[in-house]
Chains A and B, each alone.
Chain A
Amino acid sequence: MLLAGVAAAKEHPGKEYIERNGYQGPSTCEAQGCHPGTAKEFLDTVHWKHASPVPNVEGLEPGKEYGMKNRIYTMCNGNDIVNHLKEIPASPVTGKTKFAGCNTCHPGNHISDVGSVGKDAENAIDCLVCHASKYDFRRRRAYKDETGRVVMGQDRSKEAALSVGRPDVRNCMVCHESAGGGVLIKRGFAYARETDVHAKNGMVCVDCHAAKNHRIPTGFDPNNWASDGIRVSCEDCHKETPHKDGDLNRHVARIACQTCHIPRTGGAIAKDFTRWTQGADKFYEPTTLSKEANETTPVYAWYNKTVRNEPHFIGPKGSREEMGSRIYPFKIFEGKAFFDKKTGNLLSMDFAPPMSTGDALAGVASAAKTLGIKEYEPVPGWQTIYFGSTHLVTKEKALTCFHCHSRNGVLNFRALEYAEKEEEKLTNASIYFDKMAEQQKEEW
């Protein structure tokens, strides 16, 4: 009886209404006093706007909103403006076209696109792509309507609507696993039992990223700028002294949890937007070097949750002296693209021309035209980006004393602003020898 009660509590109400009336989109969700005003509210979130005020990144225009709507960086050299969803010109080899663009994952119908407002935008929200467990992705495909507009289809079937509920991992990963040009390319983590202790314990994304009125808390990834203004951190669940061992707890003041508990990373390590490689379908993609989740090691740096933002570098600010800084792990990425010799700034790219013919400069020219840039001098160059490393959490394989405090340890103490003598002391087994010897005795 208790179990039946639990099952009933999970059942989303209103199914009889959907059975009788079918599903028409957000208006159905808001009918009969359920979820009133939610569609309008959703239009003001990062998932719809792909932008927000960004107070912690240097060098940005005050008052302007930033995000994948308008950013340029070398993981995604385009953005929603210059590389919006469109029909890519036919491959000269096959004569076939295809649909592609940065905003393919936007939860609208593309007619009402990133940041749009009003009743049409509200009606265009694809609630079910995030909330249905039986969504049919054959319906979420781009196509051209009778007037030639590119439309993103949606599954508004009764079957999908009847499976509505809290988002599962799959709902989130539909978009978040294939960002940056392919599966596990951008962030390089697989949220799976084998690779993350939270997944192993049955937790889903929204257990930590628990939305408040569709505003999703995020961390302080130096390269993930837009946020809904609310943040998530390990300490939300794990207290500030999470270990039984007092020595480990003392580390928490200057060492982020991720540093020990996320010892590996993965995904793209480098990408070249100046050199596109033809794929099996005869379309071109930027040449990319990529590794699996857990295949690469992070780089460690002081981070005070503010970001240095320069044309050739996006990464953490912080220092040992500053008490608000802690040592964090980062996935490091290097991207090659065209910079404007006149201004030194990174130029953006419309992917349609190079995708079809491999001509990267034609993509730069198309983007410049869209942005009204008349004079520029493209020169190739590299940009280094530090991505936050906040998934692939492990308990069993967490770093322990000797992983850092040894001559061949993972931390470069000199780069972390420690003096030579301090480094000598910090990389000596005397720091932990007695303690680990005791532990070893207990283990065996």
Chain B
Amino acid sequence: MRNTMLVGWVAAAAILFLLFAGGVATADEMKMVGDVVKIEISGPNAKTAKATLKDTKTGKLVTVIVNDDLTLDKFKDHRIVVGDEIRCKYEVQDGKNVSKYFRKTAGC
């Protein structure tokens, strides 16, 4: 009986730990609108790029890492250029802002 209870407590503690650890590992998603002030890609075959945005609310510069092919393609053929206004969502992973959503606000 005591063994059964002990196993129960250990299991509960493990679940709590996993939930807590999971919460820590899942970075908060940040949202911003800002103008592109700099795009750094390292050549036509680059699989990653850095884009610096000037937050329109705070005026602060935020650099995000962009890894998705669609946005990288738009950097390479200049559909997205310095001066464009962007709606961006990113997560902080290992101290870096990793883009999860990077779209021009403008349409036709």
A interface vs B, CB < 8 Å? 76, 100-102, 104-105, 134-138, 170, 174-175, 178-183, 185, 192, 279-281
Contact = CB atoms under 8 A, between A and B. Distances in A.
B103 interface: yes
B1 interface: no
Interface in B9-68: 33-35, 56-57
A301 to B, nearest CB: 28
Given A137-B78, A138-B81, A192-B70, A179 B108 contact: yes
A235 B73 CA distance: 33
Contacts of A138: 78, 81
Given A135-B77, A192-B70, A178 B107 contact: yes
Given A183-B104, A192-B70, A280 B79 contact: no
Interface string B72-93: 0100011101000100000000
* Most chain A beta-carbon neighbours within 10 Å: one of B33, B56, B106, B108: B108
* Most chain B beta-carbon neighbours within 10 Å: one of A102, A134, A182: A182
Contacts of B105: 182, 279-281
B26 to A, nearest CB: 20
Q: At the interface, is chain B mostly helix, strand, loop or mixed?
A: loop
Contacts of B85: 279-281
Contact of B78 (A76, A101, A105, A136): A136
Given A279-B85, A280-B85, A137 B108 contact: no
B97 to A, nearest CB: 19
Interface residues of B, number: 18
7 contacts: A135-B77, A174-B79, A178-B108, A180-B107, A181-B107, A182-B104, A185-B107
Nearest to B103: A183
A181 B108 contact: yes
A363 B54 CA distance: 31
A298 B50 CA distance: 38
Contacts of A136: 77-78
A183 B108 CA distance: 9
B104 to A, nearest CB: 6
Contacts of A137: 77-79, 81
Contacts of B77: 134-137, 170
Given A134-B77, A170-B73, A281-B85, A182 B56 contact: no
B70 to A, nearest CB: 7
A162 to B, nearest CB: 14
Contacts of A180: 107-108
A316 to B, nearest CB: 26
Nearest to B106: A182
A192 B70 CA distance: 9
